[in-house]
Structure 1
Amino acid sequence: MSSFRQRCLDRAPLIGTFSAIPHPVAIEVVAMAGVDFLCIDWEHSQISRERIEDLIRAADVHRVPAIVRVPGHAPESIAAVLDAGAAGVLVPRVSTAAQAQAAVMATRYPPIGERGVGPGRAAAYGYRIPDYLAKANAQLVLAIQVETAEGLANIGEIAAVEGVDVIFIGPGDLSVSIDALGPEGKEKLDGAIRTITQTALAAGRCVGIFRPSTSDIATWFASGISFYLLASDTMFLGAAMAENAVAARNLCNGQR
């Protein structure tokens, strides 16, 4: 899994999903489905800090990198998931270069950042701290989420911050922030996504995006976006169950 960050930096196509179900079985099912990585959603799901380590461990069993979307910008939250063995973090609502720089400082050890050394799972509970320190800065992925009008306005300065690996676009919150909701706002939202993408690529960053389905992946991949989070485990569960329930009901009705 040490190549995950390099694949991000190389802009290889990477397909993942949000993991919102707080149980290791759900993580294992997703991992065995063939995703390149998964993102445990600590921001918008009912997942406790204590549970995160178990979920990361379940992904590790299948050698699938697990990053964590932390609840906010607090360095303590970032340290907690990295100490638990996460392959990286996704920091939400980054709207300024100062916030992006703070995420770098919290994610990287000195001399690049200010992350504190702890005897967590990532460092074999203290038994392999030197080994972990030697590789962490080079292997951990830092993705920051741009999803506000302010972030859009500041994207040039944000993308220039060294230490950021992935500029991740959150279309849902972005559409609300720039008043581009619904079909009538699609052109405006797409234009904002393209602006973020082009600016981030010009700065040498990998660009990611959330998509609820695969319907427009080819279009966005052609624009340079290579890092995708498709829906979530709960969304896929609901969609598959609904589709099969309708199919079964239709088959039954057809026999009447």
Structure 2
Amino acid sequence: MATFRKSCIERQPLIGTFAAIPHPVAIEVVAQAGPDFLCIDWEHSQIGRERIEDLIRAADIHRVPAIVRVPGHAPEQIAAVLDAGASGVLVPRVSTAEQAKAVVMATRYPPIGERGVGPGRAAGYGYRIPDYLSKANDELVLAIQVETAEGLANIAEIAAVDGVDVIFVGPGDLSVSIGALGPQGKSRLDDAIRTITTTALVAGRSVGIFRPSTDDIAQWSATGISFFLLASDTMFLGAAVAEKTADARAKATK
């Protein structure tokens, strides 16, 4: 797991999924299925702060890196999940270079950032602080979501911020923000995603995106996107139940 950030920066193809079910069993089931990483969704799920450490621990058992999508930009939220042992953070709604710089400060230790030193799980509850400090800046992934019209307009300045590893496109919020909803807005949304991707790649950042299915992974991979969050544990669960139920119902029909 120590090489996860290196894989991100080198733009190796990485396929992960969102974890939204607030129970370690779900993490273990998904981790054993073979994703490259998991993203525990603290922003859009019923997962509480007190549960995150247990979920990270469950992913660690199976040697699958677990990053956490935090609810916002607050340094204490970022520090909390990193102290719990997360392999990185996904920070939503980053729309300006100033916001990007602020999350770098919250994620990285000095001299790069301003993250405070704490005796959390990641540092062996205080017993391995020097060891953790020596490697955290090199190993923790910082991904930021660009998902607003303002972020699209500021993408060149955002992508130029040192300390950011992955520019992650949130197509759902972006489509709402730029007025590109539904089939009629697809072309406009695709153009916006390509603009973000090209600009980020030129600046030396890796690019990620959420996709609800595998249908267009090849299309977006061809643009240089290498970091994919595919659906979520809840979406996979619902799809599998629907598929198998329909299949069984068809076979049981007399």
TM range (shorter): over 0.9
User: d(CA) in 2 for partners of 1:180 and 1:230?
Assistant: 21
- Listed as ranges, the matches of 1:99-248 within 5 Å are 99-248=99-248
Deviations 1:9-42 (A, max 9, x none): 0000000000000000000011000100000000
Aligned partner letter, 1:122: A
Question: Residue 67 of structure 1: SS of its match in structure 2?
Answer: strand
Structure 2's unaligned 5+ residue stretches are none
User: d(CA) in 2 for partners of 1:131 and 1:117?
Assistant: 12
Where does structure 1 differ by over 3 angstroms across 4 or more consecutive aligned residues? none
Aligned length: 254
Question: Residue 115 of structure 1: SS of its match in structure 2?
Answer: coil
- RMSD over aligned Cα atoms: 0.3
Question: Residue 213 of structure 1: SS of its match in structure 2?
Answer: coil
What TM-score comes out, normalization by structure 1 length? 0.99
Partner of 1:15: 15
User: d(CA) in 1 for partners of 2:201 and 2:214?
Assistant: 22
Aligned partner letter, 2:218: A
Partner of 1:54: 54
User: d(CA) in 1 for partners of 2:138 and 2:164?
Assistant: 12
Give the deviation of 1:142 after TM superposition: 0.1
User: d(CA) in 2 for partners of 1:95 and 1:46?
Assistant: 25
User: d(CA) in 2 for partners of 1:84 and 1:95?
Assistant: 27
Question: Residue 134 of structure 1: SS of its match in structure 2?
Answer: helix
Partner of 1:74: 74
Deviations 1:202-225 (A, max 9, x none): 000000000000000001000000
Aligned partner letter, 1:69: R
Identity score, percent: 81
Question: Residue 60 of structure 1: SS of its match in structure 2?
Answer: helix
Give the deviation of 1:71 after TM superposition: 0.3
Give the deviation of 1:118 after TM superposition: 0.1
What TM-score comes out, normalization by structure 2 length? 1.00
Partner of 1:34: 34
